C-alpha cells in the first residue's frame, strides 16, 4: 500500500500537462511466483477518456476500481488544473518467467496516447498459496467483522450554531486492494468544516481510519446526518469469481454504508437574549487595542477589536462601537483566522476601525460589548473589552485629511498621566509663624534707632559749629558761672589754704573772669590794658576804675611785705564777689 502511494507521487508530476498522458507503474519489477504486482495506470489531462485495457495472458488481472483526482498547480504564477483518473489493478503472474505488461492506450480527439510497457520478471520461489475463493462464510464488507464504517456525533441535542463533531470511522482488518472511495454523508442543514488530518490507529485488531468534521446546525429542527459510504476493493482469492468484479473477476468492490444519525437542533432560549445578540454560539473572549494612545486631532488611530474563542468563528458579527461625537469613524475591515488544531474549530475575527479624534483632551473609547450564547452553561454571556483612554493633543488644523493616515513617528515630550497634588513636606523650618513683627515695640524701637542717631549727629554738629563761631561769646557767657565755681571753695574751705595760695587763687579767678569777658588770656594782663578795655565796654561811670582798683588791691596784698595792712581774706573775697556782680549787672 505504501509503495503504491509512493509510486503515485512519483508519477503525479507527469500528470500535469496540456495534453492527455497515460502512465503506468508497478510496485515491483521482480517478484516471486505466487506474489502479486500492483499496477496503477494514470490517465491525466483536461478530459478523461476511456482506458483501453490490453490483453494480458500471462497474468490474472483483478480490477481495483478507479478514482479521480483533481490537481491544481501554480507554475510561474499561472494556475493550471488537471484531472487524473487512476486505475488500480492487481496482477497475479500465472507462472515464472519474463513478461511485459503491455501499453495501456487512450484515444482522445483522434490521437492515441500510450503508456510505456513495463518489463516484469517472475522468479520461481515458494509455492504459491492455494487460491481459495470466498472461504469466509460471511462476505466481508457487508458490515460484518472484517470491514465496517461508523458515523458518530459527539452529541445529539445541540443548539443552533453549536459545533457538533462528526467522526467517520473506517474499521478494517483485511488488506485492501487499492484506495477506498469515500462518499461523505449528506449533511444538509449544517455548515461543514473539515477537521484534518485523518487519524490512523489500531483498535482491537482493526486498523481504524477516522475523519473528523465539524458541523454547525443552521436552524432548529430534526436533522439527519445521512449515510456515509465507502467503496473499497477487497481481493478475493478465487479464480473466475466474477460475481462482483465483472470482467476482471478476482476482486470485489465492497460498499460499506454507515447508519444515518439523528440530530435534534434546539432553538436558542429566548430568556436572557439581548437585542444586540448576533447569533454566535460557543465560548469567546474580546479584546480591544489602539495602535497609539497619544494622538493629535485629525490624526488616524486604528482601533483593533479582536473576538476569539471556540465556535463558529465565521458567524461572528461586527460588534457595535458606541462612540461619542468626539470621534470620526471610518469603515471597519475584518480579518478571519481559523485554527482547527485539536479537532476543534477555533479562531478569531479581528475588526479594524480607523478613528479620527476631532477634539483635544482625554478621550475615551468606551468598552466594546459582544453577546454570545454559551451552550455549556446554556445562557447568554456578554463580554466587554476595557475602555481605552486616548490623550489627544491639538494637532494642525483640518488641512491634513484622510489621505494622510499614516502617522509619522514623533518625538515624545513629557507625558502626564496623573496631575495630582504635590507631596507633603518631610521637615519644617522655624518661621515666624503668624506673629507680626510690626506690632512689637522692640521692632519699633530698633527701627527708630537710626533716626535718633541722625538727630543726635545733627544736633552735635550744629552745636560744634555754633561753638566755633561764637567761642568768645560763649566764654563770656560762661565767665560769671566759672568765676563763682572757682570762688566757691575759697569761701567754704578757706582754712585749707595758706594766705599765699588763697590770694593766688583769688586773683586767678578774678583775672580769668575779666579775661573771659574781654577775650584776653588771663595771664599777662596789665592793669593799663584792663582799664582801657573795660572802660570801652562799660558805660557805667566809675565801675571800670573800681574793677581795676580791685586788681591793684589784690596785687598789693600778694606782694606787699608781711605785717603791713594785712586785710582779712574773707573781706577780700566778698569784695571780689561784689565787684563781679556789679560788672555782670553792668552787662559786661
| Binding status of residue 457 toward another protein by CB under 8 A | yes
Question: From the CB of 453, what's the least distance to another protein, in Å?
Answer: 6
Least distance in angstroms from the C-beta of 460 to another protein: 9
- 398/418 with CB nearer another protein: 418
Query: Is residue 523 a contact residue for another protein (CB under 8 A)?
Result: no
| Cα→Cα distances 304→323, 355, 382, Å | 14, 10, 19
Q: Which is nearer to another protein, 72 or 423 (CB)?
A: 423
**Is the CB of 411 or the CB of 436 nearer to another protein?**
436
Cell of 385: 473589552
Q: How far is the CB of 449 from another protein (least distance, A)?
A: 8
453 is an interface residue for another protein by CB under 8 A: yes
Using CA atoms, how far residue 367 sits from 286, 347, 372, 382, 435, in Å, is 10, 22, 16, 12, 57
d(CA 332, CA 318): 8
One character per residue 11-50, x = contact with another protein (rule: CB under 8 A): ----------------------------------------
Cell 504564477: give the residue. Answer: 77
- Which of residues 78 and 429 has its CB atom nearest to another protein in the complex? 429
Query: Is residue 433 involved in binding another protein (CB under 8 A)?
Result: yes
Question: Is the CB of 402 or the CB of 454 nearer to another protein?
Answer: 454
461 touching another protein, by CB under 8 A: yes
Asked if 438 is part of the footprint of another protein (rule: CB under 8 A), the reply reads yes
Q: Tell me if 442 contacts another protein by CB under 8 A.
A: yes
Q: Which is nearer to another protein, 46 or 447 (CB)?
A: 447
- Nearest residue (CB) to another protein, 137 versus 426: 426
Q: Strand 294-296 and strand 388-393: pairing?
A: parallel
List the one residue out of 254, 232, 250 whose CA is nearest residue 241. Answer: 250
State the Cα–Cα distance between residues 544 and 540, nearest whole angstrom: 8
Smallest separation (angstroms) from another protein to the CB of 418: 12
Distance CA(236)–CA(245), nearest Å, equals: 9
| Binding residue count for another protein, defined by CB under 8 A | 34
Q: Of 185, 195, 258, 257, which is closest to residue 225 (Cα–Cα)?
A: 185
Nearer to another protein, 338 or 449 (CB): 449
* Of 275 and 427, CB closest to another protein: 427
CA distance 376 to 383: 16
What residues from 89 to 108 belong to the interface with another protein (CB under 8 A)? none
End-to-end, the C-alpha distance of the chain in Å comes to: 167
Helix (H) or strand (E) holding 482, with range, is helix 471-492
Binding of another protein by 75 (CB under 8 A): no
To another protein, the closest distance from the beta carbon of 362 in angstroms equals 15
127 binds another protein (CB under 8 A): no
Comparing C-alpha atoms, which of 525, 510, 523 is closest to residue 588? Answer: 510
- Which cell is 491 given? 569761701
Residues 6 or more apart in contact with residue 186 via CB below 8 angstroms: 224, 225, 226, 227
Q: Residue 360 CB, nearest distance to another protein (Å)?
A: 18
Name which of 123 and 453 has its Cβ closer to another protein: 453
**By CB under 8 A, residue 362 contacts another protein:** no
Q: What is the DSSP letter of 187?
A: -
The reply on whether position 465 binds another protein by CB under 8 A is no
**Which grid cell is 338?**
481559523
What is the distance between the alpha carbons of residues 113 and 157, in angstroms, rounded to a whole number? 55
Rounded to the nearest whole angstrom, what is the least distance from the CB of residue 566 to another protein in the complex?
Answer: 59
Strands 30-32 and 118-123: parallel
Give the residue with the Cβ less far from another protein, 417 or 423: 423
**Min CB(452)–another protein separation in Å:** 9
Minimum CB separation from another protein for residue 450, in Å? 3
Residue 351 β-bridge partners: 305, 334
- Which ranges constitute the DSSP H helices of 151-191? none
Q: How far is the CB of 457 from another protein (least distance, A)?
A: 5
Q: Contact between 408 and another protein (CB under 8 A)?
A: no
The CB-of-324 to another protein minimum distance in angstroms stands at 23
Rank residues 397 and 422 by Cβ distance to another protein and give the closer one: 422
**Interaction with another protein in 413-432: which residues (CB under 8 A)?**
419-432
**Site for another protein contains 376 (CB under 8 A):** no
Residue 440: CB minimum distance to another protein, A: 4
Q: What nine digits make up the cell of 16?
A: 500535469
**What secondary structure, in 3-state letters, does 314-369 show?**
HHCCCCCCCCCCCEEEEEEEEEEEEECHHHCCEEEEEEEEEEEECCCEEEEECCCE
Contact residues for another protein, defined by CB under 8 A: 419-438, 440-443, 446-447, 449-451, 453-454, 457-458, 461
Amino acid at each position: 500500500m505504501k509503495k503504491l502511494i509512493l509510486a503515485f507521487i512519483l508519477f503525479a508530476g507527469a500528470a500535469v500537462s496540456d495534453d492527455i498522458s497515460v502512465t503506468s507503474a508497478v510496485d515491483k519489477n521482480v517478484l516471486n511466483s505466487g506474489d502479486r504486482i500492483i499496477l496503477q495506470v494514470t490517465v491525466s489531462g483536461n478530459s478523461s477518456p476511456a482506458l483501453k485495457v490490453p490483453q494480458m495472458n500471462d497474468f490474472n488481472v483483478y480490477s481495483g476500481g478507479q478514482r479521480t483526482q483533481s490537481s491544481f498547480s501554480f507554475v510561474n504564477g499561472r494556475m493550471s488544473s488537471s484531472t487524473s483518473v487512476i486505475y488500480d489493478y492487481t496482477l497475479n503472474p500465472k507462472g515464472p518467467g519474463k513478461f511485459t505488461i503491455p501499453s495501456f492506450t487512450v484515444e482522445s480527439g483522434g490521437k492515441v496516447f500510450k503508456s510505456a510497457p513495463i518489463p516484469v520478471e517472475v522468479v520461481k520461489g515458494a509455492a504459491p498459496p492455494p487460491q481459495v475463493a470466498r472461504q469466509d462464510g460471511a462476505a466481508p464488507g457487508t458490515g460484518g467483522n472484517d470491514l465496517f464504517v461508523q458515523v458518530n456525533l459527539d452529541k445529539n441535542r445541540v443548539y443552533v450554531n453549536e459545533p457538533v463533531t462528526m467522526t467517520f470511522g473506517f474499521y478494517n482488518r483485511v488488506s485492501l486492494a487499492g484506495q477506498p472511495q469515500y462518499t461523505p454523508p449528506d449533511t444538509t442543514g449544517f455548515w461543514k468544516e473539515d477537521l484534518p488530518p485523518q487519524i490512523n490507529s489500531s483498535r482491537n485488531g482493526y486498523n481504524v481510519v477516522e475523519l473528523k468534521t465539524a458541523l454547525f446546525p443552521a436552524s432548529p429542527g430534526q436533522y439527519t446526518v445521512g449515510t456515509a459510504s465507502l467503496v473499497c476493493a477487497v481481493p478475493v482469492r478465487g479464480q473466475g469469481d466474477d460475481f462482483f468484479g465483472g470482467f476482471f473477476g478476482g476482486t470485489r468492490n465492497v460498499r460499506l454504508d454507515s447508519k444515518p444519525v439523528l440530530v435534534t437542533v434546539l432553538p436558542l432560549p429566548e430568556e436572557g437574549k439581548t437585542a444586540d445578540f448576533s447569533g454566535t454560539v460557543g465560548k469567546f473572549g474580546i479584546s480591544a487595542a489602539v495602535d497609539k494612545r497619544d494622538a493629535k486631532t485629525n490624526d488616524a488611530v486604528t482601533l483593533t477589536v479582536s473576538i476569539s474563542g471556540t465556535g463558529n468563528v465565521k458567524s461572528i458579527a461586527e460588534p457595535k462601537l458606541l462612540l461619542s461625537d468626539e470621534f470620526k469613524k471610518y469603515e471597519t475591515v475584518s480579518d478571519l483566522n481559523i485554527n482547527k488544531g485539536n479537532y476543534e474549530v477555533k479562531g478569531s475575527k479581528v475588526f479594524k476601525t480607523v478613528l479620527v479624534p476631532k477634539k483635544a483632551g482625554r478621550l475615551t473609547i468606551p468598552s466594546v460589548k459582544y453577546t454570545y450564547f454559551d451552550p455549556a452553561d446554556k445562557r447568554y454571556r456578554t463580554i466587554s473589552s476595557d475602555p481605552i483612554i486616548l490623550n489627544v493633543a491639538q494637532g494642525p488644523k483640518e488641512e491634513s485629511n484622510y489621505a494622510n493616515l499614516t502617522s509619522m513617528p514623533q518625538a515624545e515630550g513629557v507625558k502626564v498621566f496623573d496631575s495630582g497634588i504635590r507631596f507633603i513636606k518631610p521637615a519644617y523650618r522655624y518661621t515666624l509663624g503668624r506673629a507680626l513683627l510690626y506690632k512689637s515695640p522692640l521692632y519699633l524701637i530698633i527701627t527708630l534707632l537710626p533716626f535718633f542717631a541722625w538727630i543726635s549727629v545733627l544736633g552735635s554738629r550744629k552745636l560744634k559749629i555754633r561753638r566755633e563761631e561764637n567761642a568768645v561769646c560763649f566764654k563770656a557767657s560762661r565767665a560769671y558761672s566759672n568765676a563763682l565755681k572757682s570762688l566757691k571753695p575759697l569761701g567754704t574751705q578757706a582754712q585749707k589754704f595758706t594766705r599765699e595760695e588763697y590770694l593766688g587763687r583769688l586773683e586767678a579767678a578774678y583775672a580769668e573772669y575779666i579775661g573771659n569777658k574781654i577775650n584776653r588770656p588771663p595771664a599777662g594782663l596789665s592793669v593799663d590794658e584792663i582799664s582801657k578795655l573795660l572802660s570801652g565796654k562799660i558805660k557805667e561811670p566809675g565801675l571800670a576804675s573800681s574793677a581795676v582798683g580791685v586788681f591793684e588791691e589784690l596785687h598789693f596784698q600778694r606782694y606787699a611785705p608781711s605785717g603791713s595792712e594785712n586785710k582779712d581774706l574773707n573781706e577780700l573775697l566778698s569784695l571780689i564777689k561784689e565787684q563781679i556782680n556789679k560788672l555782670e549787672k553792668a552787662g559786661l
